[in-house]
Amino acid sequence: MKAVMCHSYGPPENLVLEDIPDLEPGEYEAVVEVHAASLNFPDGLQIQGKYQFQPPMPFTPGSEVGGVIKSVGAKFSALNVGDRVMAIPGIGGLAEQVIVKSESVRRIPNNMDFKTAAGFAMVYTTSYHALKQRAKLQPGETLLVLGASGGVGLSAVELGKVMGAKVIAAASTEDKLDFVRQFKPDATINYGDGELKEKVKELTDGRGADVIYDPVGGDLFDQSCRCINWNGRLLVIGFTSGRIPEYKANLALLKGSSMVGVFLGRFRKEEPKAYEQNLDELLAMYANGQLNPVVTQTFPKEQFVKAFNIFTKRQAKGKVTLEFKAE
C-alpha cells in the first residue's frame, strides 16, 4: 500500500510517497482503508521535528481520516468490517491504510462523505471542549476567535453561534474574513495591521471579550490579555505564530480574568466519557444542519507537498484533505 513517509526532518518536499507492506490489526485493533485524510497544523510541525510529540523515525504523518473498516483483530468488537468511519489514529493517517483502536474510531452518518469525516472530529471536538468544558461559554457572552478562518478557528466560530454567543471572528486578511463571513459571525476584525486590542474594545463598548479563543499565541495573545472583559477566559489553543507567550499575572488580577489551557489529547485520555458525549452532541448538531464543515481543498495523494504547504505558508481556510481512494 502507498504511504507518505517521513525519513528525515525537514520541509514537506523531503517527504516521499512509497510502497510499504499492508497492515495487519493487533488483537484489539482494526485497519481502516483510508479514503480521505485531513491535514492539521501540527502535521507540518511534526515533519520538521518541531512538535511536542515526535514519533520515532521513519513515520507516516497524519492524525485523522475517513474510510472503511478493512479488517479487525480478534478482540476488536466496536465495529465491523465494511463500516464507514471517522478516526483519529494520531499518526499514520496519510496512507491507504491505518491502524486504529476502538476509542479512536466512530461510525459516520450515511450522509457524511469521507473527506468531511476526515476533517470533522479533531477541530470540532477541540473547540467544543474549549468552549463548553473549559470556558463554560454562556449565551449572550462575546466570543472573540483568533485565526478564525483556519481549521480549529472556523469550528469555534460555528460552535460559538450554536451556543448563543455574540461571535467576533478575527483574521489577518480581508480574503480570509470574506471566507469566514459565510458562517455569519456577528462582527469581524482584520488584525493584519497588528492592531487587535483597540478594535475589540470598539466592538464591545470598551469592555473587551468574555471569552477569547487563541490558536495563534505570540503578539495576539499579549493583546488579548488587554482586551478581555471582567471575568473573561482566555483559551490557550496553540501557537501558530511560533511564539509561546507569557501571561502577565497583574493583568489577570486587574481584570479578574483567567488563562485556561485546552488540550484535546489529554481530555480524551482523562475524561473519555465526556469526550464521547461531546462527539455525540457534535454529530447531532451536524445531523440537525447546525454545523457545516467545509473542506476547501482536496488534493490527490501524490500532491501531498501542496497540501502541507497550505499550513506552512499560512494559507489555511477551513479544512484541507488528501484523497487516497475516490468516493
Could you list the residues that contact ligand NAP (CB under 6 A)? 40-42, 122, 126, 147, 149-153, 171-172, 176, 215-216, 237-242, 262-264, 311, 314, 316
When the beta carbons of 76 and 304 are compared against ligand NAP, the nearer one is: 304
- Least distance between ligand NAP and beta carbon 51 (Å): 8
When the beta carbons of 18 and 270 are compared against ligand NAP, the nearer one is: 270
98 contacts 4 by C-beta, under 8 angstroms? no
When the beta carbons of 63 and 97 are compared against ligand NAP, the nearer one is: 63
199 contacts 189 by C-beta, under 8 angstroms? yes
- Least distance between ligand NAP and beta carbon 29 (Å): 24
Q: Which residue has the cell 469566514?
A: 180
When the beta carbons of 174 and 302 are compared against ligand NAP, the nearer one is: 174
How many Cβ atoms from other residues are within 10 Å of residue 105's Cβ? 25
- Least distance between ligand NAP and beta carbon 326 (Å): 25
- Least distance between ligand NAP and beta carbon 177 (Å): 8
Question: Three-state SS for 197?
Answer: helix
- Least distance between ligand NAP and beta carbon 249 (Å): 22
- Least distance between ligand NAP and beta carbon 52 (Å): 9
When the beta carbons of 92 and 215 are compared against ligand NAP, the nearer one is: 215
When the beta carbons of 70 and 134 are compared against ligand NAP, the nearer one is: 134
51-76 as b/e: b if 16+ CB within 10 A? eeeeeeeebbbbbbbbbbbbbbbeeb
281-292 as b/e: b if 16+ CB within 10 A? ebbebbeeeebe
Angle at 6 between CA 239 and CA 47, to 5 degrees: 10
- Least distance between ligand NAP and beta carbon 295 (Å): 12
Q: Which residue is nearest to ligand NAP (CB)?
A: 150
33, 46, 118, 143 from 204: Cα distances, Å: 49, 38, 36, 11
- Least distance between ligand NAP and beta carbon 120 (Å): 13
Angle at 204 between CA 202 and CA 207, to 5 degrees: 105
Question: Which cell numbers in the block locate residue 21?
Answer: 507492506
Dihedral pair phi/psi, residue 200, rounded to 5°: -65, -40
Beta-ladder partners of 117 = none
When the beta carbons of 142 and 149 are compared against ligand NAP, the nearer one is: 149
Beta-ladder partners of 72 = 30
When the beta carbons of 13 and 27 are compared against ligand NAP, the nearer one is: 13
